[in-house]
Amino acid sequence: MPVNLNKPERWKEDIAKSVDMYNEWFMTFAPKAFREARIKATADVEATLIATRNITAIGPTVLRQHPEALPTLRMSTCPPLAVDRLIGLSGVPKSMVMRMEKKLKLPVRMVAAELDAAFKKIGAIVEKMADPDIFVWLGREVPATREEIHRAATIVADRLCGSVANPTIRNAQERRQLAEIKRWLERRGYRHMPTSESARFDQMAVGTFSFRMNVPVKLNERSARTVNIPVDAVVMPKTATQGSLPVLFEAKSAGDFTNPNKRRKEEATKMSQLRNNYGAELRFSLFLCGYFDSGYLGYEAAEGIDWVWEHRIDDLAEFGL
């Protein structure tokens, strides 16, 4: 039976309460997250300045030793360079830049000569576009003072810390949501099954639950290849019978209305893949907190995806839990 997807008369009130709940959490947590991100970013920038002799020697040797410096170098130019803009200007392989940005590591399939050539291009662009209003010592004979270096590091860190803090906030919100689900389930006698127990999702004991579990699926009927779809929360109801499938939940939070609508197809794609493999009876739902408007809810409802609002967490019971 549907829980929330078929009750549009509730949506407006629930959206307002969910926004209020997210904002209350954000006002408490976000300032601390941004402060911590800024302190770490400043230290990272200062390390990059030391390695590059204060943005005057950016070449293959430095980037080989410090691939993690690339985000700092992008934020050191005027204007700051987005990842795609750096790739376009330099003409270097996208895979190389993305690995340095996301993994903070060197690419593994490029030979030394290709790497050096790419690093020279990146270094030339950053040195040419380095912001003279930040790095005031560029072009003069007097070396940078300690105060100038620290000031420059804090300015670049301010540019970096938004991109660093936002994932921190998202991850913290997800951890908090899963902790709320755990607390709710354990109060009702469910047992948390650590991933180390390594049971398949469809072989879980009744009355157990697990987080961040992989569910194997075949992408199409003709393919023998299996891929794992990660699911945030998997719960085997205490009333489950032999051969029953657990209930799956995806924890979703959002600090604005735009991003959820941009990515709303992701849940529909995931549910389609799961049901194509395990049947229409598989229950895949959302656990929501934050900015999810009626456009988002209407889209998910049309796809047959139900949800539980965190501010009404007791609705979990209506899923047979």
Q: What is the dihedral of CA 267, 271, 272, 275, to 10 degrees?
A: 180
Is residue 207 located within the same domain as residue 300?
A: yes
Of 166, 191, 219, the residue that ends a domain is 166
- CA 26, CA 23: separation in Å to the nearest integer? 5
Q: Which class for 106: exposed (0-12), middle (13-18), buried (19 or more C-beta within 10 A)?
A: middle
Of 133, 166, 199, the residue that ends a domain is 166
Cα–Cα distances in Å, from 161 out to 59, 65, 164, 217? 25, 23, 5, 37
Look at residue 180 in the predicted model and tell me its pLDDT.
95
State percent of the chain over pLDDT 90: 40
Across 62-76, 86-100, 176-190, 197-211, least confident range = 197-211
Is residue 154 located within the same domain as residue 226?
A: no
Is residue 146 located within the same domain as residue 223?
A: no
**pLDDT category of residue 178 using cuts at 50, 70 and 90:** very high
**Residues 83-106: what's their mean pLDDT?**
90
Is residue 192 located within the same domain as residue 271?
A: yes
CB 211 within 8 A of CB 186: no
63 is in which domain, residue-wise? Answer: 32-166
Q: Is residue 144 part of a domain?
A: yes
Residue of 115, 133, 134, 139 whose CA lies nearest to 48: 134
Residue 80 is classified by DSSP as P
For 107-165, write each residue's pLDDT tens digit: 888 888 899 999 999 999 999 999 998 999 998 889 888 889 988 898 898 888 866 66
Report the domain count for the chain: 2
**Residues 305-320: what's their mean pLDDT?**
93
Q: What is the dihedral of CA 22, 40, 127, 98, to 10 degrees?
A: -60
Q: Is residue 311 part of a domain?
A: yes
Q: Which residue has the higher pLDDT, 244 or 248?
A: 248
Residue of 78, 81, 79 whose CA lies nearest to 70: 81
- CA 28, CA 223: separation in Å to the nearest integer? 48
Across 69-83, 217-231, 242-256, 266-280, least confident range = 217-231
Q: Is residue 3 part of a domain?
A: no
CB 66 within 8 A of CB 72: no
**pLDDT category of residue 191 using cuts at 50, 70 and 90:** very high
pTM above threshold 0.85: no
Of 131, 166, 201, the residue that ends a domain is 166
Across 82-91, 149-158, 220-229, 241-250, least confident range = 220-229
